[in-house]
Structure 1
Amino acid sequence: MEQLIPILVAVVALVLLAFGVFALLARFYRQVDQGKALIVNTLKSDPLVTFTGAIVYPIIHRAEVMDISVKTIEIDRRGKEGLICKDNIRADIKVTFFVRVNKTHEDVLKVAQAIGCVRASDQATVEGLFEAKFAEALKTVGKRMNFEDLYKERDHFKDSIIEIIGKDLNGFVMDDCAIDYLEQTPIESLDQNNIMDAEGIRKITDLTVTQNLKTNELRQKERMETGSQNLAGDEAIFRFEQKRSEAEARKNKEVSIAQSREQNEAQRIANEEAKRTLLAHEKNSEETLVAQQARERAVLVAMKNKEREIAVEIERVERARQMEITTRENDVIAQQITRQAEIERQKREIAEVVRGRIAVDKTVAEEEERIKDVRAIAEANRHREGMKIAADAEATQLSTKQVRAAEASEEVAKAQARQRLVLAEADLEVADKQSRAKVRLAEGTQAEASAAGLAAARVREADAKALELTGAAEASAIRAKMSAEASGIGEKAEAMKALDSVSREHEEFRLRLDQQKVISLESIRAKRDVAGVQAEVLRAAFEHAKINIVGGDGAFFERFIRAVTVGQSIDGAVDQSEVLKGLMSQLGSISADDAPKG
């Protein structure tokens, strides 16, 4: 056992030493989060770079942490600082670059040696390092492309920026870039004295005017085509509405006819239903009245029974109260007797000599009290019987009156119900007869109208047949006449062809003379009719006129004749001239159009 003690001590010492070593290692071991790098300056020439963790001994080691996660750098150029494109159009642009320290030992050491771990982890320091370089690359790529190409080839624009900047940035690496905002710089933000801005303003104005003209042309074309389509659509809709209106008119006509027929039938059925309803209503009213009267009678009987029970109960209570009063009085009397007995006993003890007299007095007093009790009980019984008889008499009298009144009301109600039933049956009979009369009258009117329409239709049919026959006869006569005239004209034309030139001229001259003769005769006849009408007008005008002839040697008459002659000449000229007729008709239409306005 003593030999094992050194071994156990050695084992315990080794365990304690191992535990201490592990505790020191755990105490000095330093871990780092994802997105960070740990740089440990040891006694060696090159520092130790780790991305997970390492043991850092105090005094002999120094540890620094560098942020190697992705950082964003925004380049925003707007207004006068905007990006100038190849076509000298300035663009407002905002680009976000995604930069991080490359996750390699060499790049981390390069960044740490160049700017330090703290500055490399600072966002502002990183932006200050790369902002100028990124802005220069952005300007270089923008100058290679036109403004429209920036929109059309955004991916190419972005790839060109990444290509110029490069992937290696002295330990940093650019993952990607994103174009957040890209728009044309407003013209009011451009400098007209700048050569490039002036060129850009000219191109923007030229493109804007051209596009506006094209847009206006397309809009006007759209308006024209839209108006044409709307017009065609309106015409089609108008025709459709017209056809629909005609169809609706026919439908409404048929519907009104059917509705009238259905209304007549419904009125007849309604009258029959009203008759049955009125009879049922009167029957129900009668039954209701009988039931109501029976209910009122039962209520009255119940009320009387209740009043009778109340009276009996009151009598019972009064009797019990009287009995209680009597019992109380008897108790009082018994107490008094007991007290008197005690007094007498004391008196007997005091004076035995007066016992006989006290016994006599006691007997007399007891007999008097009994007499009083008998009298009180008899008086109470008489009073009770009297109240009971009076209550029974009053209840009987009131019940008899109410029963008589109820029977009288029942008889009156029955008489009124019978009277209303008779009146209702009479009204129903009158309504039924009136509805039948109206139906007969409507049928007669309908038959009369149908007969008149049928007669008119037959007359029109006969007139149409007669007109057809007359037209056919006239057409046959006209056809025969025209055929004869055509034959005569044809024969005359054949005869004219056979004539020589002298004979033809003579025949034409004769025809012209005949035509002029007919025209002259018709003109004379028309003038004669006009003169007759004018003379009649003058006669009517001068019939009641007062004429004063002024002037000597017939001057007034000559002027009058001259005026009449001029009027006749104008009328003749108007009748013979087609131009004057057209002018007069136009003047007449103008005056007719202006007449309502005046």
Structure 2
Amino acid sequence: MNGSDVIAIVILITIIIAIGVYLLHWLYRHSSKDQSFVRTGLGGERVVMGGGALIIPIVHDITRVNMNAIPVEIRRLGEQSLITRNKMRIDIIAEFFVRVVPTEAGVSTAARTLGDRTQNPAALKEIVQGRFVDAMSAIASTMTMDEIHTSRGRYMSEVAALAATTLGSNGLELENASLTSLNQTDISVFDPSNAFDAEGLTQLTEQIEERRQLRNRIENESRISIKLKDFETEQRSLEIERDLEYARIEQTQAIEIRKAAQLAEIEAERSSSTISIQNARIRSEQEGERIRIA
């Protein structure tokens, strides 16, 4: 084997390797963490998760399956609101996160029943939202509006448990569920000709009237309490002013009495002095007369 033959062999090997790399790049498909696929055709069905497989055109076909959690928001508002056990209508918004079960059986089932719709959240929602609405309606019919409000976690747990049983037929599972909004439906939506709405409307009207009467009674009692408090305050203020006036009068009387007593003492002292002076003068005159007679 001469040098030209070696070169030819090297070139041939290089060409074969290049062709092999090209075919491998063209025919080999690999999955990722968020994408799996199912290969069908020659060799039967094969689920590929976290790996790869050769896909030969014409003899093989693949169905890609989205492994990410997909949010599904359910809104039941207005005329589509849910009816509770006590026949009240509630507006409710809930959010569910569904995903393909990360097993070969789950991926196979999702590919067979859903196909490429796992890649389209809107298309997937069209398939599963009815199940969530049915579960939400079923659980709401067993609870009152107050119970749903005070036990939101229990309500969503029961909804999730009921809905999860129907998702398995499509290779799906419920990852998370949350109640994002809850409120009473506007009273204008209630239809008096509907048996459920008529009963709920009656209860709602009674509750509104009871609360109106209670509010009115509380407001009246509050007004009376305020007026009574004002009266007591005014009465106490008058009593204080009266006591102050009495104190001023007593003080004035005490001052006048004290002044009169002092004036009387002064006058008594003045009278005593006058008498003493007069007595002294008389004694002096008598003494003078006595001396003159003597």
TM-score by length of 2: 0.69
| 8 Å CA contact 1:38, 1:51 repeated in 2 | no
Deviation at 1:156, TM superposition (A): 0.8
Residue number in structure 1 paired with 2:168: 169
Residue number in structure 2 paired with 1:465: 262
Please state which structure has a larger fraction of its residues in strand.
2
Residue number in structure 2 paired with 1:149: 147
- Tell me the SS of whatever aligns to 1:40: strand
Q: What does residue range 478-557 of structure 1 map to in structure 2 within 5 Å?
A: none
Identity between Structure 1 and Structure 2 (%): 21
Deviation at 1:70, TM superposition (A): 2.5
Q: What does residue range 344-493 of structure 1 map to in structure 2 within 5 Å?
A: 465-467=262-264
Deviation at 1:40, TM superposition (A): 2.3
Residue number in structure 2 paired with 1:132: 130
Q: 1 CA distance for matches of 2:135 and 2:218?
A: 41
Q: 2 CA distance for matches of 1:113 and 1:129?
A: 14
Deviation at 1:232, TM superposition (A): 7.2
Q: What does residue range 292-303 of structure 1 map to in structure 2 within 5 Å?
A: none
| 8 Å CA contact 1:95, 1:178 repeated in 2 | yes
Q: 2 CA distance for matches of 1:94 and 1:207?
A: 25
Task: Kindly indicate whether structure 1 or structure 2 has the higher relative contact order, using CA contacts under 8 Å at least 6 residues apart.
Answer: 2
Show CA shifts across 1:99-125 (max 9, x none): 22222221121122223x223433343
Show CA shifts across 1:4-38 (max 9, x none): 87667656654554454334323433345543222
Q: 2 CA distance for matches of 1:198 and 1:75?
A: 26
Distance 1:84 1:7, change over 3 A: same
Distance 1:465 1:18, change over 3 A: same
Show CA shifts across 1:23-67 (max 9, x none): 432343334554322222241122343345443333433233233
Show CA shifts across 1:72-102 (max 9, x none): 3333223333211111112122222222222
Residue number in structure 2 paired with 1:216: 216
Deviation at 1:153, TM superposition (A): 0.7
- Tell me the SS of whatever aligns to 2:92: strand
Show CA shifts across 1:249-279 (max 9, x none): xxxxxxxxxxxxxxxxxxxxxxxxxxxxxxx
Show CA shifts across 1:508-528 (max 9, x none): xxxxxxxxxxxxxxxxxxxxx
Show CA shifts across 1:165-184 (max 9, x none): 22543111122222232211
- Tell me the SS of whatever aligns to 2:141: helix
**Which amino acid is the alignment partner of residue 73 of structure 2?**
E
Show CA shifts across 1:280-305 (max 9, x none): xxxxxxxxxxxxxxxxxxxxxxxxxx
- Is residue 2:48 matched to residue 1:70? no
| 8 Å CA contact 1:42, 1:48 repeated in 2 | no
- Is residue 2:179 matched to residue 1:179? yes
- Is residue 2:177 matched to residue 1:191? no
**Which amino acid is the alignment partner of residue 66 of structure 1?**
V
**Which amino acid is the alignment partner of residue 77 of structure 1?**
R
| 8 Å CA contact 2:110, 2:172 repeated in 1 | yes
**Which amino acid is the alignment partner of residue 465 of structure 1?**
Q
Distance 1:69 1:462, change over 3 A: closer
Q: 2 CA distance for matches of 1:209 and 1:131?
A: 38
Deviation at 1:464, TM superposition (A): 6.2
Residue number in structure 2 paired with 1:204: 204
| 8 Å CA contact 2:47, 2:107 repeated in 1 | no
| 8 Å CA contact 1:88, 1:196 repeated in 2 | yes
* Unaligned residue ranges in structure 1 (runs of 5+): 240-460, 472-598
Distance 1:63 1:194, change over 3 A: closer
Larger radius of gyration: 1
| 8 Å CA contact 1:74, 1:96 repeated in 2 | yes
- Tell me the SS of whatever aligns to 1:179: strand
* Unaligned residue ranges in structure 2 (runs of 5+): 241-257, 269-294
Deviation at 1:217, TM superposition (A): 3.3
Show CA shifts across 1:331-368 (max 9, x none): xxxxxxxxxxxxxxxxxxxxxxxxxxxxxxxxxxxxxx
Distance 1:12 1:79, change over 3 A: closer
- Is residue 2:91 matched to residue 1:106? no
Deviation at 1:212, TM superposition (A): 2.6
Show CA shifts across 1:220-240 (max 9, x none): 44444555666777878xx8x
Q: What does residue range 324-343 of structure 1 map to in structure 2 within 5 Å?
A: none
Please state which structure has a larger fraction of its residues in helix.
1
Q: 2 CA distance for matches of 1:179 and 1:462?
A: 89
Range 197-206 or range 167-176, more displaced? 167-176
**Which amino acid is the alignment partner of residue 86 of structure 1?**
R
Distance 1:40 1:468, change over 3 A: farther
| 8 Å CA contact 1:86, 1:144 repeated in 2 | yes
Residue number in structure 1 paired with 2:121: 123
- Tell me the SS of whatever aligns to 1:205: helix
| 8 Å CA contact 2:65, 2:110 repeated in 1 | no
- The size of the alignment, in residue pairs, is 247
